[in-house]
């Protein structure tokens, strides 16, 4: 009978005889690309047999090569995986094909301080994790959908503080411009000059009031109207700012905010696309609405 391992306490001796495989390394690299990932997203991103992936996750946890926790009720009870053992992962990278140059070592060390076993997890940090998981879920939807399509590639994905800037909206008024993520879809079969589509992504968990959200939209519009994205993000044309929220009602409210803003800044009529998390995740699904008309759009339009 197979030994049942503890869920919240490591038992390294129980997995000492198990060998790390390429699937183990693929799991680590996948978590590194996303920072925080639910187990179900790791399964679909890594591919292959689901039970085998879960066993590898279990072994990696007990070897202290990945860490995990759950959010308190009534939030999801599913394990959230992340990396926080920089020393152990460096040793593994030196002894295997793990691509250590692709790991964000500063982020891994920060994870140990903020989310490791001895870290105090405050309500604010739980809210941050929920926000990060919403971004990760969208990213995973995007990656698996593009992979299934076969004719689309994610050429670039960026998120976090590397994207942060400011937008001057009046002589004495400046707003923070802090996108949640930026990504570029590459269409290899499209005509020259039309192969890249650049998007900004915003994950709205409905914790900010509508006034604050209007300011966020205004900052986006001003930032791109002023051409600051060319130097900041190294592209000239943005397809859309995608705003994903938790409910259709909230998406409608934000669309109204964009409509009001468009009276002052006409760019807002086409710049912002809104959707809710209950919509289908495929890049081909027409689920995004904007102010200019009632036609739903997909990321490949």
Reading the chain (301 residues) residue by residue, the pLDDT tens digits are 456 787 878 988 989 888 999 999 999 999 999 999 999 999 999 999 999 999 999 999 999 999 999 887 656 678 999 999 999 999 999 999 999 999 999 999 999 999 888 887 777 788 899 999 999 999 999 999 999 888 899 999 999 899 999 999 888 899 999 999 999 999 998 898 899 999 999 999 999 999 999 999 999 999 999 999 999 999 999 999 999 999 999 999 999 999 999 999 999 999 999 999 876 678 889 999 999 999 999 999 8
Domain boundary among 70, 90, 121: 121
pLDDT at 125: 82
Same domain? For 17 and 135 the reply is: no
Q: Which of 121, 151, 186 is the last residue of a domain?
A: 121
State the residue for tokens 């942060």. Answer: 164
> Does 131 lie in the same domain as 261?
yes
Number of domains in the chain: 2
Q: Quick one: 107 and 155 in the same domain? A: no
Do 43 and 8 contact (CB within 8 A), yes or no? no
Q: Among candidates 9, 133, 128, 43, which has minimal Cα distance to 80?
A: 133
Q: What is the C-alpha to C-alpha distance for residues 96 and 57, in angstroms, rounded to an integer?
A: 18
* Domain contains 243: yes
Q: Which of 79, 106, 121 is the last residue of a domain?
A: 121
Please check whether residue 252 lies inside any domain of the structure. yes
In angstroms, the CA 55 to CA 2 distance is 12
pLDDT of amino acid 1: 43
Task: Tell me what pLDDT residue 215 has.
Answer: 96
pLDDT of residue 9: 85
Distance, CA of 286 to CA of 301 (rounded, Å): 9
Residue 42: per-residue pLDDT = 97
Q: Which domain holds residue 195?
A: 125-276
Q: Where are the beta strands (DSSP E) in 160-249?
A: 165-170, 173-177, 181-186, 196-203, 240-245
Do both 202 and 116 map to the same domain? no
User: Is the separation of the CB atoms in 127 and 262 below 8 Å?
Assistant: no
Q: Do 141 and 267 fall within a single domain?
A: yes
Beta bridge partners, 174, equal 168
Is the domain of 38 the same as that of 74?
A: yes
Q: Please give the DSSP secondary-structure letter assigned to residue 297.
A: B
pTM across the whole model: 0.92
């Amino acid at each position: 009978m197979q030994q049942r391992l503890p869920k919240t306490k490591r038992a390294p001796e129980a997995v000492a005889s198990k060998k790390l495989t390429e699937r183990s390394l693929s799991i680590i690299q996948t978590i590194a690309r996303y920072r925080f990932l639910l187990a179900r997203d790791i399964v679909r991103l890594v591919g292959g047999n689901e039970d085998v992936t879960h066993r590898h996750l279990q072994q990696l946890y007990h070897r202290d090569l990945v860490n995990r926790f759950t959010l308190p009720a009534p939030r999801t009870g599913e394990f959230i995986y992340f990396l926080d053992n920089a020393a152990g992962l460096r040793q593994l990278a030196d002894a295997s094909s793990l691509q250590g140059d692709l790991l964000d070592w500063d982020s891994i060390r920060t994870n140990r301080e903020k989310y490791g076993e001895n870290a105090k997890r405050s309500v604010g940090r739980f809210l941050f994790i929920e926000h990060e998981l919403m971004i990760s879920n969208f990213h995973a939807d995007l990656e698996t959908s593009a992979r299934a399509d076969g004719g689309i590639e994610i050429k670039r994905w960026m998120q976090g503080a590397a994207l942060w800037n400011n937008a001057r909206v009046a002589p004495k008024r400046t707003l923070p411009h802090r996108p949640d993520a930026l990504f570029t879809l590459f269409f290899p079969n499209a005509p020259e000059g039309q192969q890249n589509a650049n998007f900004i992504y915003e994950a709205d968990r409905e914790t900010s009031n509508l006034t604050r959200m209007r300011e966020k939209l205004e900052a986006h519009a001003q930032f791109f109207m002023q051409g600051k994205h060319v130097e900041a993000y190294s592209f000239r044309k943005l397809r859309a700012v995608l705003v994903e929220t938790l409910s259709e009602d909230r998406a409608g409210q934000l669309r109204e905010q964009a409509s009001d803003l468009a009276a002052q800044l006409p760019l807002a009529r086409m710049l912002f696309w809104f959707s809710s998390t209950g919509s289908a995740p495929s890049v081909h699904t027409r689920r995004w609405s904007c102010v200019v008309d009632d036609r739903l759009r997909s990321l490949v339009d």
